[in-house]
A and B are shown apart, each in its own frame.
Chain A
């Protein structure tokens, strides 16, 4: 009896050693594949096999929300509808004005001999999993290398930048969000009298912080920040994508610098669909 217990005890240790050793081996394999810009075959296989089930779960929930959500949201729906109708009318007027401005800008650009930037090709994708591990600001989307997604492809939503792809499997991709501490984007103020350039960095909170801004740069609360197309840790974002709005500027007397916070234009908790710029 004692011998059996002793053997069991030894087996438990061997199981742990085996799992830990295999885990370390798989980690090294993953890092090696990532360094060469490839997907780790095991992770890619696991995601390819499991993602259809998660896709079905997400699609079923979306369908139930669409079909039966009114039962819960009933009283607030008419108020929402009236507000959206008003907003739609205002936006229609703005679109007409902007279309006129775009035509003028295009004409002036061609007269001055500027190169015209081609329209961006977008791949739509649904979100399979938001923050798979709560400590990291990442998400998994339903498009992968088979759809033309590559590492560092930019991910946007209608309201602005979401993040960029960092791991691609055949049918899914992992995206690092702007709010993750490992994320940074070259930014500039979208105001004709400023155009100050800086870096917008994630810090794990819902707000982004600004770094590398000149001491005399003109930046105000309410300014819209757009991607500058330059710098950033990744340097992958094209120019002109909306990042967010400056919501706080505080002076730090000890370092004579300013702490500036930006609220992302995209509400990451309400994202349903995104677009990839391959």
Chain B
């Protein structure tokens, strides 16, 4: 019952962060670099649940994000599901009580998700893609700190 409650809270957090991302992420942009609040929410929340539920969270994030992007629907859903699942599978093996674990997970998770997306849906300018993904990864690291404490408090 406790697990079900905490999973419901994690789902709500991911949905709320998705709304915040769509409405405000572009306002946070610095020199063109922009965070992905929804993806950071997914990666952080996946640290607090098992692989099965994290995969579902990733699937849901993918559906929400792809509905707004309007293209690459399959690639977005698959990469988000994979990201959630992998971090969820790591959950029993990592010390999630340390905020720096969440920061590291968000950096690597964002970068690898971006690269994985590139493999599924290659883009015209590879260097530009890597640059934007790296910037996004750094930005996500920073915003993962408050999100981590928020998730920890809620769960």
Contact = CB atoms under 8 A, between A and B. Distances in A.
Contacts of A181: 123-125, 128
- Most chain B beta-carbon contacts within 10 A, residue among A18, A133, A167, A206: A133
A248 interface: no
B77 A19 contact: yes
Chain B interface mostly: helix
A271 B6 CA distance: 39
Interface in A1-45: 8, 11-12, 15-16, 18-20, 22-28, 30-31, 34, 40, 42-44
A92 interface: no
Given A43-B66, A54-B22, A54-B23, A12 B73 contact: no
Chain A interface mostly: helix
A50 B59 contact: no
B150 interface: no
Given A16-B55, A27-B73, A57-B23, A42 B132 contact: no
Contacts of A43: 66-67, 70, 73
A23 B22 contact: no
Interface stretch (A124-132, A214-222, A228-236): A124-132
Chain A: number of interface residues, binned into ranges? 35 or more
A138 B70 contact: yes
Contacts of B26: 129-131, 269
B77 A22 contact: yes
A113 B51 CA distance: 72
Interface string B51-64: 11001101100111
B67 A46 contact: yes
Interface in B41-88: 50-52, 55-56, 58-59, 62-78, 81-82, 85, 88
6 contacts: A12-B55, A24-B74, A50-B22, A54-B22, A129-B23, A174-B68
Given A12-B89, A23-B78, A57-B24, 13 more contacts: A8-B50, A16-B51, A19-B58, A19-B85, A20-B82, A50-B19, A54-B23, A132-B69, A133-B68, A174-B70, A181-B123, A181-B128, A269-B29
Interface of B: 18-27, 29, 32-36, 50-52, 55-56, 58-59, 62-78, 81-82, 85, 88-89, 114, 117, 123-125, 128-129, 132-133, 135-136
